[in-house]
Structure 1
């Protein structure tokens, strides 16, 4: 049973990382468009850099 839990946790972590990457890219893409002049919060970018490192 523990093996299944470990695999589930690994899959969840991977999905969360992918979601964060997609959200960050979406923020960057929206930031480039003139419709949204405000940039994303610096805290999110810092968290992203921590995850990437």
Structure 2
């Protein structure tokens, strides 16, 4: 999710498409929150591990 957000953010900035930039930032933030929650050991969606 973080990689997809970063790609959309870069494409949005290069192409000057504001909706892609916005979606990219949102995905980056959500991805970072999920990573932090996963590292703290909290279960996300009923799972503690993604594998």
The normalised TM-score by structure 1 is 0.48
Query: Which protein is bigger by CA-based radius of gyration?
Result: 1
- Which structure's residues are more often helix, by fraction? 1
The normalised TM-score by structure 2 is 0.50
